Every structure is written in structure tokens, then in C-alpha cells.
Amino acid sequence: MGRYNVIDLFAGCGGFSVGFEQAGFNIVKAVEFDKQIAQTYLHNHKETKLYIDDIATVDTDEFFERGESDVIIGGPPCQGFSMAGARIRNGAFLDDPRNYLFKHYVNIVKIVRPRMFILENVKGILTMQKGEIFNEILKTFSDKTLFDGDKYYLHYKVVRAVEFGIPQKRERVVLIGMLNTDFDIDLMFEEVKKQININNPHFFEPVSVWEAISDIETPTESGLTTLLEPTTSYQKALRCGCTVTTNHIATEHNKRSCKRMKQIQEGENWVKLNEPIHSVHSGAYGRLEKDKPAATITTRFDTPSGGRFIHPVADRTITPREAARLQSFPDNFEFVGTKSSVCKQIGNAVPPKLSYFLANLVKYALYENN
């Protein structure tokens, strides 16, 4: 069996690509609009042809061609979905300019006609507009008139990061489409779990915050830091031969924030402070607990008021490298760009360990239906 080819749309820094590469796939092309984020993708995926452009510009046969990829992966941002409103009922979902990102994902699938595609998105997409948005997405990919008589059979699943040995409570929806072939998604998940367990019996074991980050030494100004001896299977798995890693830079907090953080114990948050905190996050000024998984890593993990992101022991928020560990990025993956860009890259990424599982799911499906 040769290597399968993959196209990564809305690639971000490349979390989705990392997992597929680890599973032996060849990432032939990727698309990322943000120029800073694209630099991280390029830095870590030097063999991939990356289009740094609006997907609306490249969704033509000038950039993609039929059969060049077995699989398309990606997660169109859902802002447009939540605003689609009544136009869905008029059959104009793909024509609504607010949904153009999804439309161009569909256009590339139409051109390439991959054997499978995976669309990842926030769990809330299932209930947006009382479920009408997600039903319209399902209807679009099942429409034979859009694919010259072909049809994608679709199944979806809510995936919880903790169930894949990732130390955070992230939940996402994964929609899988297979060309002209129906499949049992629950059966596939169970079979792939069995296969992975044979070669890696620690893969699905629960991982706590401390089991993920306790071998990373004190932050440095340069971000370069020596790693201590690994003490858990999770730490060992993410090493990739590294003894030194990058992006371990602590945020400089103001005196008020530092004073507040000193008052917070493990598992506590702003409620313990004798002052009002103006934040939309219920977990604001929350300190992570050593022996539990983290909350969902967001783009504001460097901000005490952004959620439960205070280090379990130190009076600071977690560093980008610690956040990357909680997202399951390998230690040899280096993030480039400004502080805010790096936080955005990590917070928005598909956890590579989840991606690795999905890549093995694809291999299983394609092998079974060869």
C-alpha cells in the first residue's frame, strides 16, 4: 500500500497535518490565509505546497486537479454559519456570502473528488439555527447534482480530547464523508482503537496536566529550555528525540494580576478574590489542577482573565510550549510569529494526537474498501 495524499484546507499552523504525517500520509497541498500563521506551517512542513491566500482565490482547477489527493481535511471557520438565518430555507445556503468559506471547501472537494474528507468544527455547529445549519451541510455533500452523479456518504461524531489521551476537555464535531461508499462510523472507531492499542497500549490512557508538563523547566527569555527526564508515557511520546524545546516564554503580568494569581489555589478561580472581575469567562483567574485535564485551550491562554490557564504551581499563565503540550504537539514543532499570533495558532489547532487517530481511521476505511 502506497502513501495516501492529503490536502489540508484552513490549515492554520498545521495541527491536522502533523497527525496525518505521523500516520504516514503525504500532505501535498495546504491553504492558509493568515500570513503570520502560514510561516509556522511552512517552518514545520517544508515539503508541502502551501497557498498563502484566501481560499476563494484558489478554489479553481488552476490550483487543484481531479484525483491529486485521496483525502481532504480542514475546518471552515463557523462565523458565517451562525448568521445564515432564513436564507437557508430559500435554498441559498451556498450562495450566502457569509458562508463563502464553507462554499469554497465544497468547491475544492468537487474539483479534487477525494475518496474521503474530514471536516472538523466546534460542537455548537450541531445546534446553530436549531440544527438547520448542520443539516444543510449534510444535504450539500449528499447532493449528487453537485458532484456529477457522485455522492458522499456522511457520518459525524462528537469527539472528546480526553478520550484520546489528550490532557484537556476539548470537544469537537468531526464530519467524515466517503465517496460513493457508506460506512459504520462507530464500528470504525472501535476497530481503529483496537489497532492502535496493539502497538501503543498507552495511547488512550487519561493524562493529567502535571503528567503532561512537569518535565518542562523554568521559562526563559529566549523560549529555549532544557527538558528534564521524562517521567510519563505522554512526555516520552512527545519528545521526538528532543532534549531542548522552544516557545517556553512566560507572559509578563502586571502587579495587579500577579497579586490576584497568588491568592488562587489549584482548582479555584476569580470567586476567591475579594473584588469584582469583569470577564466573560466563568473560569477567569482559574488555576489548573495538577491531577486533572485542562479546560479547553483557547487563543487567550496567556491571559489570567481569559479562562482557567494559571500554572498549577507558578504564579503565571501557562507558556506557549506548555499549551502546546496540552494540545499534544510534539516538542520539535516550533511556532513562529508574534505572541498573539502564536497563542492563536495553538488555541485554534486540531490536537495532533486526535488527528493521528483520524488518519488511522482513514487508512482503515480506505483499506477496507479498496
User: What are the residue numbers of the active site?
Assistant: 78
Strands (E), the chain: 5-9, 26-31, 49-51, 71-74, 116-122, 152-160, 171-179, 225-226, 244-245
Strands (E), 180-262: 225-226, 244-245
Do residues 352 and 330 touch, judged by C-beta distance below 8 A? Answer: yes
Sign of the dihedral defined by the CA atoms of residues 342, 347, 348, 352, in that order = positive
Backbone φ, ψ for residue 352 (5° rounding): -55, -30
CA atoms within 13 A on the CB side of 330: 18
- The rounded distance, in Å, linking the Cα atoms of 301 and 349 is 13
Cell numbers 490550483: residue: 63
Backbone φ, ψ for residue 198 (5° rounding): -65, -45
